Structures are given as structure tokens and as C-alpha cells.
Amino acid sequence: MTLNPALLLGSSNCIVKLFDTEAKRTLHEVPTDKLYPRITSLCCSPLGSSFVCSATKPNILSAEQTTLSEYHSASNIKAGKLWYWDMKTMKILREVPIELHTACINSTQFNHNGHLLVTGGSDGAVRLYDMHRYDCIMSWKAHNGPVYSVQFSPDENSVYSMGADGKFINWSIHDTGRRLLRDLSVHDGATGPFIVSGYSGYRQVHTPKGKLFAFDVEGCHVLTCASNGGVIYKLSDIGLSRTLTLLGHRAPVVSVDWSSAMNCGMCLTGSMDGRIRVTTILSQ
């Protein structure tokens, strides 16, 4: 998560780092809770003075030892924590309640002024928080299985979520739990898990930990992950229509982003092999 000119980094050994991208040095390296060592999400407030950090316990089972259904079940029952941090002091100001002790937060996003926070949990629930009160003001069961990625719509009147059940859903935040669009069909694999196979039975499974979809600045198109690149869909009142495929990766793309600058069609795709590609979409 970026905060110009700094970068927030979360580790799997209960460490949060603040890195100066201009000086190329670590400004702060702060421990969190040893009982919840794996950082699952970091999100900066648009006000620039705070951020939220979610963390969970280590994996109960590894992907190499289990079937995919067993792996999802293990992820679904993990407990987690959600903290609100002060960016200047790099100290935890308070713990934000998750309601259930058997859920961890996989995805977080603030709205434009930092007053609201939306989260996606391993219990399949989407939660909306009032960050003035640090309370959950609404929650609903969004997916059968973990919610991997969640975001406000560009106009912030609704929420989009992707989950382990392979669904991409648009939800109203004015009528709790109501789906706005009947069908948001995306290609197979857009919501993970991401798998790489090789010789001698080699198989690596990556459950989603990044941003699975991203909107353009006008909210008319959405970029999603694919096996060797990204897929862009056009969003309309009746659903999604596939518009463009971005190629160039040799491994599954596990995280995407789209520049929020006006008149900028810059898309980023990051794959399992650690490669990041920047693609500029030319408007006509």
C-alpha cells in the first residue's frame, strides 16, 4: 500500500514496515501481535495520517498437503485482528471489532474521505465500518467461502466483492445485502485459486492475497486477473461484457491495479513469478 513517497509493507512474521521510496530506506519497522503474525491487508486512509492493518494466525494446513476444498475450509475458520494505526507515530491507536472471533479480514478499502471502511472476511462476510465510531454499521453474507477482494464502486453508492465461490457481485450499501446486478459473470480463474503445475508432479497453489479487480477512473471498465495476463470488461446496467485481454505473463496474474489519474489508461498486472507489467490503454 502506497503513501507518497512511502510504501507500507506487511510480512508473515508480525512486522509492518514503512519504506521511503525516494531515499530507498526503511523509516520504521514495527512488530504487531505474535499470535497473529501474518499481515493480510494494509490500507491507507485518504487523509494520509492513518491506516488499517489486518492480520491472522499462521495457516493451519499448507496447500501442498491438502485438497483445494480442505485448504479453503482451513482458511475459513482462522481468527484475525483488525487494527487502526497512526501513520506518524507508527503505533496502534485501537482495535477495530470484527464481530466473530473465527474470521480474519482479507481485504480492506476506505472511501474517498476515510469516513467509511469496507472489508471482506474469511467467513464470507462483507462488513462496512463507520471510522468515526470504529464500529461495524452493517454486515452481510456475501459469498460461500472467503471474500478475497472487496472495493467501493467508483461512485461509492455500492460495493463489489469477489470470493472463493468464483462469484463477482455488486451490493447495495443503502439496502443491506441486496444484489444490484443480476449477473456479473467473469472468466474461470478470475477469483482464484491460482495454480502452477510442472514436471514430476510439481504443483503450487496460491490463494488470493492481492487486489483481484480494479476500476478505471470513470467506473466504466474493470480489470481482472487471468492465467497469463489481465482481462478488461465493460460494465453496464445489465452486467459485464468482455472488451480486451492484456497478455505478456508466463504465470497466473494474482493482483491488478488501474491508475486513478484522469486521462490515464495505465494498468498494472502482477503475476505469481514476481513480475509486474505496466500497460497503457489508448483511448479512441
Q: Which residue has the cell 495457516?
A: 59
Question: How many angstroms separate the Cα of 231 from the Cα of each of 139, 207, 228, 237?
Answer: 30, 19, 10, 19
Q: So what's the pLDDT on residue 49?
A: 87
pLDDT 10s digits, 180-233: 876 789 999 999 889 888 777 788 888 898 899 999 988 999 999 999 999 999
Sheet holding 91-95, edge to edge: 38-44, 50-56, 80-86, 91-95
Helix (H) or strand (E) holding 92: strand 91-95
Contact 161, 180 (CB under 8 A): no
Tell whether domain 1-180 is in CATH 2.40.40.20: no
Question: Strand pairing partners for 152?
Answer: 159
Handedness of CA 53, 58, 63, 66 (dihedral sign): negative
Question: How many angstroms separate the Cα of 124 from the Cα of each of 30, 51, 83, 180?
Answer: 30, 23, 20, 18
CA atoms within 13 A on the CB side of 49: 5
The three grid cell numbers given for residue 254, joined into one nine-digit string: 494474482
pLDDT 10s digits, 47-57: 888 999 999 98
Sequence spans of domains, the chain: 1-180, 189-284
Per-residue pLDDT of the chain (284 residues; tens, 9 = 90+): 544 577 899 999 999 999 888 888 999 999 999 999 999 999 999 988 899 999 998 764 444 444 455 444 444 456 899 999 999 899 999 999 987 667 899 999 999 999 999 999 999 999 999 999 999 999 999 999 999 999 999 999 999 999 999 999 999 998 887 888 767 899 999 998 898 887 777 888 888 988 999 999 889 999 999 999 999 999 988 889 999 999 999 999 999 999 877 666 899 999 999 999 999 886 65
